[in-house]
């Protein structure tokens, strides 16, 4: 069964450092997402991406965050200067085309980011 | 309150018992979905119910939707230890945007 793959599975970084989290969505999917989950808390929407541009972003997704689809397969989330509160599990998700009114997301296993 | 709130926050039952989790939401939706998350892992889609549906079944799962009360319930029948996980409802808002908004989750523990 097709999977969304994420790397790294765990990254530890120092506050102020740049981090890039990588995702390979399912190949025929068109919409891509990043969500995050602070330990034990709810899953929060960060950003959605379609047709090589951001379609929506949340208040969390400030100027320190950026997303990119540098080639036909990878979808990356960059945090420019990490803060302690960025420590969380980051999930990438993708879906074929939500226009049918059935926006079922396939999630990756997540990248755990620890900021020290 | 938030768009999706599940209750209870935690539920502990014995194998073979039924588990019922509830979700309330605030705004109009296209559909409501339930996802499962094993500890430290990604979310897995379980079932989707559209706004014009009232009940849906999938194996041991039964989902109901009451749009007048803006609430949904997930029933897992004859639970197994392997059902131990967190369960989240997610709403597909009727706004033209494509994101899902997740609730706060119910942690289910099924003891053998």
pLDDT tens string A30-39: 899 999 999 8
pLDDT at residue B95, rounded to an integer: 65
pLDDT (average), residues A75-79: 97
pLDDT tens string B2-55: 567 888 999 999 999 999 999 999 988 889 999 999 987 889 999 999 999 999
Closest CA to B53 of B45, B43, B62: B62
Q: Which residue of A has its CA nearest to B2?
A: A42
Selecting from A98, A101, A105 the residue whose C-beta is nearest the C-beta of B50 gives A101
**Interface probe with B: pick from A25, A42, A91, most Cβ of B within 10 Å:** A42
How deeply is B82 buried, as exposed, middle or buried, from its count of CB atoms within 10 A (0-12, 13-18, 19+)?
exposed
Q: How many angstroms separate the CA of residue A73 from the nearest CA in chain B?
A: 20
DSSP H or E segment with residue B4: none
* DSSP per-residue letters across B41-94: S-EEEEEEEETT-SEEEETTEEEEEETTTTEEEEEE-S--GGG-EEEEEEEEET
B1: pLDDT strictly greater than 50: no
Tokens 């208040």 -> residue: A59
pLDDT (average), residues A32-51: 92
């Amino acid at each position: 069964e097709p999977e969304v793959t994420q790397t790294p599975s765990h990254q530890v970084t120092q506050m102020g450092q740049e981090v890039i989290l990588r995702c390979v969505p399912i190949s025929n999917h068109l919409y891509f997402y990043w969500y995050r989950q602070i330990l034990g808390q709810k899953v929060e929407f960060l950003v959605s991406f379609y047709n090589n541009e951001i379609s929506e972003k949340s208040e969390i997704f400030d100027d320190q965050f950026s997303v990119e689809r540098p080639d036909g397969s990878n979808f990356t989330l960059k945090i420019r200067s990490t803060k302690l509160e960025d420590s969380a599990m980051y999930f990438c998700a993708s879906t074929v085309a939500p226009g049918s009114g059935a926006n079922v997301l396939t999630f990756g296993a997540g990248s755990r980011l620890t900021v020290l | 309150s938030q768009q999706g709130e599940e209750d209870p926050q935690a539920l502990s039952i014995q194998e073979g018992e039924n588990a019922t989790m509830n979700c309330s939401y605030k705004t109009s939706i296209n559909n409501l979905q339930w996802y499962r998350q094993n500890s430290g892992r990604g979310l897995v889609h379980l079932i989707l119910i559209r706004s014009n549906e009232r009940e849906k079944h999938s194996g041991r799962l039964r989902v109901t939707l009451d749009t007048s009360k803006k609430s949904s319930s997930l029933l897992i029948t004859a639970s197994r230890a392997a059902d131990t996980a967190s369960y989240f409802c997610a709403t597909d808002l009727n706004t033209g945007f494509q994101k899902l908004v997740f609730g706060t989750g119910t942690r289910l523990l099924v003891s053998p």
